[in-house]
Amino acid sequence: AQTVTQSQPEMSVQEAETVTLSCTYDTSESDYYLFWYKQPPSRQMILVIRQEAYKQQNATENRFSVNFQKAAKSFSLKISDSQLGDAAMYFCAHVGRSQGNLIFGKGTKLSVKP
């Protein structure tokens, strides 16, 4: 069975600083994707970044980047130059070729202090 673990229920960062959110996963599949989703107070799920497991290069999207350690099954999200609008719940998720459904972690609530 696939599982996704986010061990940080809450994190806080000062505006303009950098923060890293942790995520580990377990899977028996060789073909899978990993995602970070943002859920602001509006509760609309927004895709932040995604990583294909077969790609060694870490994905980046502007201020967001991941550290994908496949052997360790770790997939952390780094947010640089944090902004007030980054405050939200962040969910790590996995989808495997065989299962086909997104499996979400429990989420990390990120607060950004001005």
> How much helix, strand and coil, in percent to the nearest 5, is found in the chain?
5, 55, 45
- Pick the piece of the chain touching other proteins (CB under 8 A) from 14-22, 26-34, 61-69, 73-81: 26-34
Q: Side-chain half-sphere of 13: how many Cα atoms within 13 Å?
A: 22
Among 23, 36, 66, 105, binds other proteins (CB under 8 A): 105
| Phi, psi dihedrals of residue 24, rounded to the nearest 5° | -125, 155
Site string for other proteins, 44-83 (x = CB under 8 A): xxxx--x-x-------------------------------
In terms of CB distance, is 29 or 81 closer to other proteins? Answer: 29
| Phi, psi dihedrals of residue 15, rounded to the nearest 5° | -50, 140
Site membership for other proteins, residue 104 (CB under 8 A): yes
